[in-house]
Amino acid sequence: MSFQPEIHLFTDGACSGNPGPGGWAFVMRHLASGKEMESSGFEDPTTNNQMELQAVIEGLAVLKRRCKVEIFTDSVYVGKGITEWMVKWKQNNWQRREGKSLKPVKNVERWQRLDELISRHEFKYTRVAGHSGHPENDRCDELAVQAYQERR
């Protein structure tokens, strides 16, 4: 069995208006070395949920080999999506149940990309409370807000 690097991926998305200009950001830490990288980006128009998803997508896309990744996010939408909803959506051809009928999953292209990226890794989801003094989450929020404010 080959060694799998252990990674902590902290993510956040932000949006001014919903929809409106938005930003995503991540902080990634390689646990063995302590080495970190940060990245952020901008979209307009977008929604908060799209930016939350994009932050995780962008972070996972950086990884070039299989890793053990713990994803830290304050987004219940992302957390429930990757741990609960995605399995059912895939069984229903990327549709969600609404009452007695099936409707297309919102942000389906992003969910499909996230599904593809997650499948390359061993992952764990950990929810953090937003704006609660969690240093990496606060840093991601700062970077995401800065990303859209600089582009206005």
Q: What is the reported pTM?
A: 0.95
Cβ proximity of 50 and 76 under 8 Å = no
Domain ranges in the chain? 6-80+124-149
Q: What is the fold of 6-80+124-149? A: Nucleotidyltransferase; domain 5 (3.30.420)
Over residues 84-95, the pLDDT tens digits come to 999 999 999 999
Average pLDDT of span 125-131: 90
Q: Catalytic residue at 98?
A: no
Say if residue 1's pLDDT is above 70. Answer: no
Q: Catalytic residue at 59?
A: no
Q: What percent of the chain has pLDDT over 90?
A: 89
What's the pLDDT score for residue 151?
Answer: 79
Q: Catalytic residue at 130?
A: no
| CA–CA gap between residue 96 and residue 101 (Å, rounded) | 8
Q: Catalytic residue at 30?
A: no
Selecting among 22, 23, 41, 52, the annotated active-site residue is: 52
Q: Catalytic residue at 134?
A: no
Say if residue 137's pLDDT is above 90. Answer: yes
Selecting among 8, 13, 58, 136, the annotated active-site residue is: 13
| CA–CA gap between residue 148 and residue 119 (Å, rounded) | 30
Say if residue 152's pLDDT is above 80. Answer: no
Over residues 62-76, the pLDDT tens digits come to 999 999 999 999 999
User: 């896309």: which residue's tokens?
Assistant: 61
Which token pair is 74? 């304050």
What's the pLDDT score for residue 85?
Answer: 96
Over residues 85-127, the pLDDT tens digits come to 999 999 999 999 999 999 999 999 999 999 999 999 999 999 9
Say if residue 2's pLDDT is above 80. Answer: no
Say if residue 36's pLDDT is above 60. Answer: yes
